[in-house]
A = this chain, B = another copy of it.
């Protein structure tokens, strides 16, 4: 099953705001519907946002009845401008929009039909490449998972953040295809509960045994011998391996170290920021306090209380056993040179 697909000239995607209660696909050929769903987080995760934006623009252009190439190009430019800023911090969004924009410039189509055909192909290529990348991460990641492996993870780094497979989850999906028994422990991932809502749902949907626990139970689970491996995604990785990821990741890395468990990060090479030497240069975004004061639609904490709400934390590269990308596995210790040659080589 795919999270995002092209079906009879339209984009079909899972409405994640309805999960885990209802599996519902939205099917649309309107970029405005895609944009709205990216804003409402019913499409989330870097690869999913980029691919759905590219496909959304392409299918919108397909059904336009402009007779002049110039007019079509004008509308295309306007739609790209609009789409690129729907979520300002989503790097993959502007990356995907820029890629199709550059493609249309460099390929100089001579007709409306040619313009439409090249655009659709480029959007399909972006989608396919994203899927291939997930599949590669899955193959390399699966090589780190023995048979009968119990993997603890947080947030959602699965098919729901990508076209299919995802990043960290790709490893256990591929391992399962290879005939290995894999079990997942999904930390719920307060404040937004992506682990309990999304990772639990997609594991069940894909017949991977999954157990949900609160984030505070990870240490207990390790001490009880319930965990073999910690494996999760990344938002940004520095040249020394320092990794920004969902809040709570740093804590899991310390717990894994204390229990002698391997701690694996799975992310495409596009996640590496080759301009920063260490994690100290990563600015940590503070999000809306209401995410912490509320849960399940209800207020939990007193009115007016102070709140911490960092979106992510930084795990030192020294706590990470290996980083898996679509190109292979980088083992610790991580160095500037090792990471650069992996990403650029």
A residues sitting closer than 8 Å to B (CB atoms) are 20-21, 154, 185, 187-191, 193, 196-197, 200-201, 204, 209-221, 223, 226, 247-248, 250-251, 254-255, 258, 292-310, 313-314
Contacts and interface: CB of A to CB of B under 8 A. Distances in A.
A204 to B, nearest CB: 6
A179 to B, nearest CB: 22
A215 B258 CA distance: 18
A302 B297 CA distance: 17
Residues of A contacting B: mostly? mixed
Contacts of A191: 214
11 contacts: A188-B300, A196-B301, A204-B302, A204-B304, A212-B306, A214-B248, A215-B215, A216-B247, A220-B310, A296-B300, A297-B298
Given A196-B301, A251-B255, A254-B254, A189 B216 contact: yes
Contacts of A293: 196, 212
A10 B189 CA distance: 45
The number of times this chain is found in the oligomer is: 2
A296 to B, nearest CB: 3
Given A300-B296, A313-B220, A214 B305 contact: no
A305 B200 CA distance: 7
A315 to B, nearest CB: 9
Contact of A308 (B200, B217, B300): B217
A211 B292 CA distance: 11
A180 to B, nearest CB: 19
Given A254-B254, A255-B251, A301 B212 contact: yes
A27 B211 CA distance: 43
